Structure 1
């Protein structure tokens, strides 16, 4: 899961500025679900 997120970020580095928030939100959701 983590590798997928990092690879996704690196592969979309050009448009990451726009998608960064979405990725971060998804990551936070994933982390919260993992903790719970």
Structure 2
């Protein structure tokens, strides 16, 4: 979560608000393994 916003839930698509685009300044990469 980012404040009151959910960025992504594993197994679901990412929120449009948090997608990487040409205006992206920072990226947080998280790797999940089962």
- Measured against the shorter chain, the TM-score band is under 0.3
Structure showing greater relative contact order (alpha-carbon pairs closer than 8 Å, 6 or more residues apart): 1
Normalized per residue, the structure richer in helix is: 1
